[in-house]
Amino acid sequence: MPKLTIDGKEVEVPKGTRLIEAARKLGIEVAHYCYHPGLPIAGNCRMCLVEIEKNPKLQISCHIEAADGMVVKTQSALAKQGRQNTLEFLLLNHPVDCPVCDQAGECKLQDYYMEHGLHDPKFDDNKVRKSKKAFPIGPNVMLDTERCILCSRCVRFTDEITKTHEFGIFNRGDHSEVGLVPGKSLDNPYSANVVDICPVGALTDRDFRFKCRVWYLGKTPSVCTGCSRGCNIEIDYDRLRPHKKAGHDRIMRFKPRENSEVNKWWICDAGRYSYKLIDHGRLVAAKQSGIDASLDAALGEVAGLLAKAREQGRSGRIGVLASPDMTNEELFLVRQLFREELSAALAFEMAEPAGHKDDFLITADKHPNRAGAREILGTGLAKGEELLARAARGDLVALLVFHWDIAALAGADRLAAAARGAPLYVFATHENRTTYAARFALPVANFAEQSGTFTNCQGRVQRIAKAVEPLGESRPAWKILCEFSDALRLGWTHESAESVFAELSASVHAFAGMSWQTLGHAGATWKQGQPQEAAAAR
C-alpha cells in the first residue's frame, strides 16, 4: 500500500489508485473534466494538473498512480498557473452563451472559471464556429458542438458502458468536433446518461430543455420506482417559483445518484422520464363510482366496515390486495392491521405480463418493492385473482385494493364481477378504470410525496424521501392505515414512517438492526442466509 503526501497530509491508498482519487480520499477535489470514476481514463482535458516533487513538469493527477513517498501539491503556484492556462485554452472557442444554455448553473466551465480561471482572455481572434448550433441527435439528447471541450466522456460511455458506439470525435485541431457515427442515432436505452456526464452544455436533455433554470431546483434523494432495481435518484423539483402559473409540473427531472452497489452512476431512460407520472393523471379527490365524493365519508365507511366485521367475527372475509408498490413501512402496517389483528384474506401479487429486461440495470419486475413485500407478508399467500374470484362469489364482505389496476391486468369483466359481489375500495395514486369501478376510490400519495423505504431485487433496503406535498386530498397510505387502526382502537402511536420502520426492524428478522439513520442515503443490504421470518412463521 503506497503512502504519499498530498498538500501536507499523509494518506495510504491501495496500489494502482490514481492521484485524483487519493486526493479525494483526503477531501481534496482536483478540478477535472475528462476524468470520470465510472469510465476509462483518457487524460485529454489536462485540467487536473498537480505538482509532484522531484518531477520537472506538472502531471495530470487522473492518470498518475500513487507511489510510495510521493509528495503532491495541488495548490502550489505552479499547479494553479497550469490549471488556469489549461482553462484558458479550453475556453478559447467556447461560445460563452450561458444565458441560453441549460447547463448554466451546474456547468464545470463556470465553476472552474470562478475557482481557477478569472483570467483576462488574451485571445482576440474570431472564435471557430462549428457547422451547426444545437440539434437533436436522438430522442432525448441535444448536441451543441460549439460548447464541447472534447473531453470524450460521452464517447467512452457509449464505447464502454452501453457498447453501442454511437459517438466519435471527428476532424483535427480546432476543427475537431464530437458527433455521431454516420447512420447512427443516439437511441440506446441509457442514452440520456451522456447528458449527466457531459461537464459542459454540449449535451443537454431535450425533455428538460428550457423548462427550468437549474438554480430553481430543490433536490431530494430518492429511489426510482420503475423496476425492482431501485436505482438511486435525485428528484429535482421546482422550488423557487411559487409565483409561477398554477398547474405546471412540480417535478422537473430525475437525475441518477451515485451508488456503487446498485446503479453506479447510471439510470435507464425509462426510469429517468418516469417523473412525468408523479403529476399527471393523478387521483386527487375521493371518488364514489367515479364521481367526486367526501374523503372523510369514504374513510369512515371503510373504518366502520372493518370494525363491524371484527365485531361480528367475519373479519376473515375481508379481502385485502396489497401491492409491491407500497413501501416496507406500509406493508408492515398492512400486516399488523389485516393479518395480526383482523386475520383478513391477504394477497399482494397478481399475474402480470413479463416486463422488458436487459443485462445491465433494467429488471423484468416493474415493482419497486416485491422483495420487501415477500419478506414482510410472506410468500405463501393467495394471488389477487383468487381474491377477485372470492369477491365475485359473494364470499367477501369487502375488497380493499392498494395501487393495482385490476381492470388492466385481470380485465374489466372480472373487476365488474368482483365489484358486484363485494363493495370494492381502491387506494390509488392515479385515476384508471379500476378507480371508476370502485365503490370508493381513495387518493394516496406516491413515492415523491412521502418518506419510506423500498427493498430492491438485491435485498437492499433504500430510503425514499418526501420531495413535494401530496397532491390534492391524497395522503400517504401508512397514515390511512393508522386512521383505520384508530377506528379499531388498536392504540398505534406512529407519528412518522420512521417509527413504523423502527417497529418493523424489531419484528422482521431481515430488517433487524436497521434504522433510517444507519441506512443513510445509500441503503443497506439485509441479512443473508438467515431463516426468513415469514418461513419461520409458517
Interface residues with another protein (CB under 8 A) are 97-100, 104, 132-135, 209-211, 213, 215-216, 240-245
> Which of residues 105 and 472 has its CB atom nearest to another protein in the complex?
105
Virtual torsion, Cα 526, 531, 534, 538, nearest 10 deg: 180
For the bound state, the minimum distance from the C-beta of residue 33 to another protein, rounded and expressed in Å, comes to 23
Residue 479, burial from CB neighbour count under 10 angstroms (0-12, 13-18, 19+): middle
The answer for residues whose C-beta is within 8 angstroms of residue 27's C-beta and 6 or more apart is none
Cα–Cα dist 70/52, whole Å: 7
> Which of residues 110 and 259 has its CB atom nearest to another protein in the complex?
110
> Which of residues 140 and 456 has its CB atom nearest to another protein in the complex?
140
For the bound state, the minimum distance from the C-beta of residue 230 to another protein, rounded and expressed in Å, comes to 34
> Which of residues 240 and 506 has its CB atom nearest to another protein in the complex?
240
- Beta strands 141-143 and 135-136 are antiparallel
DSSP class per residue in 233-302: EEEEEE-S-TTSPTTS-SEEEEEE--BTTTTBT---HHHHGGGHHHHSSB--S-EETTEE--HHHHHHHH
For the bound state, the minimum distance from the C-beta of residue 471 to another protein, rounded and expressed in Å, comes to 21
At residue 204, the 3 state secondary structure works out as: strand
For the bound state, the minimum distance from the C-beta of residue 100 to another protein, rounded and expressed in Å, comes to 4
Cα–Cα dist 478/376, whole Å: 15
Is-contact 191 137, C-beta < 8 A?
A: no
For the bound state, the minimum distance from the C-beta of residue 535 to another protein, rounded and expressed in Å, comes to 56
Cell of 243: 409565483
For the bound state, the minimum distance from the C-beta of residue 136 to another protein, rounded and expressed in Å, comes to 11
For the bound state, the minimum distance from the C-beta of residue 127 to another protein, rounded and expressed in Å, comes to 13
> Which of residues 136 and 290 has its CB atom nearest to another protein in the complex?
136
Cα–Cα dist 19/53, whole Å: 13
> Which of residues 248 and 393 has its CB atom nearest to another protein in the complex?
248
> Which of residues 74 and 110 has its CB atom nearest to another protein in the complex?
110
Q: Which of these, 302, 267, 455, lies nearest to 369 by C-alpha position? A: 455
